[in-house]
Amino acid sequence: MDLPWGGCEIALVCDMRIASENARLGQPEITLGIIPGSGGTQRLQRLIGLAKAKELIFTGEVIDAQTALQIGLVNRVVPLSSLMGEAEKLAKKMVDMGRVALGLAKAAMNWGARVSLGEALHYEIECFSQCFATQDQKEDMAAFLEKRKPQFQGE
């Protein structure tokens, strides 16, 4: 199944991507005399590297799901029949984590990808420190010591 025009660019905005084994992904805009116009030229290179992104964008090649997995365009490939179940399982796993820590980890990673390593490490320390001011961190530590599952409140 091919993603609709613009579908790959929508997928690039996601933190993680799960594809069915029959999925086909690409940036074929060049075949129409245009370029990806919704962030594809920027997000794709950040995800899979400049050289591979140039290859896909400059040729308009559409790739299969296994190739997308090999180059890091998708995180997982699953049978079409289990696609939604796998996506829900992954989402549930993340929902069970502390929202504050998850948000701070995402912020640190996204910001860190755009700055020098030194700046990124400094920001990571700030985010790490913020975790200790949350109720979720206190709950998680208590749950660990009491050998139970934490009950995060997002605070």
Q: The CATH number of the domain where 135 resides is what?
A: 1.10.12.10
Do residue 28 and residue 86 come from a single domain?
yes
Pair (82, 100) in one structural domain: no
One domain for residues 16 and 78: yes
Mean pLDDT to the nearest integer, 36-48: 91
Give the CATH number for residue 21: 3.90.226.10
Query: Domain for residue 88, yes or no?
Result: yes
C-beta of residue 12 within 8 angstroms of C-beta of residue 40: yes
Question: pLDDT tens across 95-125, in order?
Answer: 888 888 899 999 999 999 889 999 999 999 9
Of the pLDDT bands very low, low, confident and very high (cuts 50, 70, 90), residue 90 is very high
Residue 154 placed within a domain = no
Rounded-to-integer distance, Cα 104 and Cα 136, Å: 13
The active-site residue, picked from 29, 88, 119, 126, is 29
Q: Is the pLDDT of residue 1 over 50?
A: no
In a domain, 153, yes or no: no
Name the pLDDT band for 7 (thresholds 50, 70, 90): confident
Query: What are the Cα distances from residue 44, in Å, to 9, 94, 124, 143?
Result: 8, 24, 24, 40
Shared domain check, 24 and 87: yes
Does residue 150 fall inside a structural domain? no
- Whether 27 has a pLDDT exceeding 50, the answer reads yes
Domain count, the chain: 2
Given 93, 120, 137, the domain boundary residue is 93
In the block, tokens 């690039």 appear at: 12
Q: Extract the tokens encoding 87.
A: 């996506």
Whether the pTM exceeds 0.75: the reply is: yes
Inside any domain, residue 65? yes
Q: Mark whether 103 and 39 lie in a shared domain.
A: no
Residue 9 annotated to the active site: yes
Banded pLDDT at 71 (limits 50, 70, 90): very high
**List 9, 88, 119, 126, catalytic entry:** 9
Q: Residue 139: which residues within 8 A CB-CB, separation 6 or more? A: 98, 150, 151, 152, 153
Question: Active-site residue 29, yes or no?
Answer: yes
Whether residues 83 and 113 share a domain: the answer is no
152 belongs to a structural domain: no
Q: Which structural domain, as residue segments, surrounds residue 105? A: 96-145
Give pLDDT, residue 144: 86
Query: What average pLDDT does the structure give for the chain?
Result: 90
Examine residue 1 and state whether it is found in any structural domain, yes or no.
Answer: no
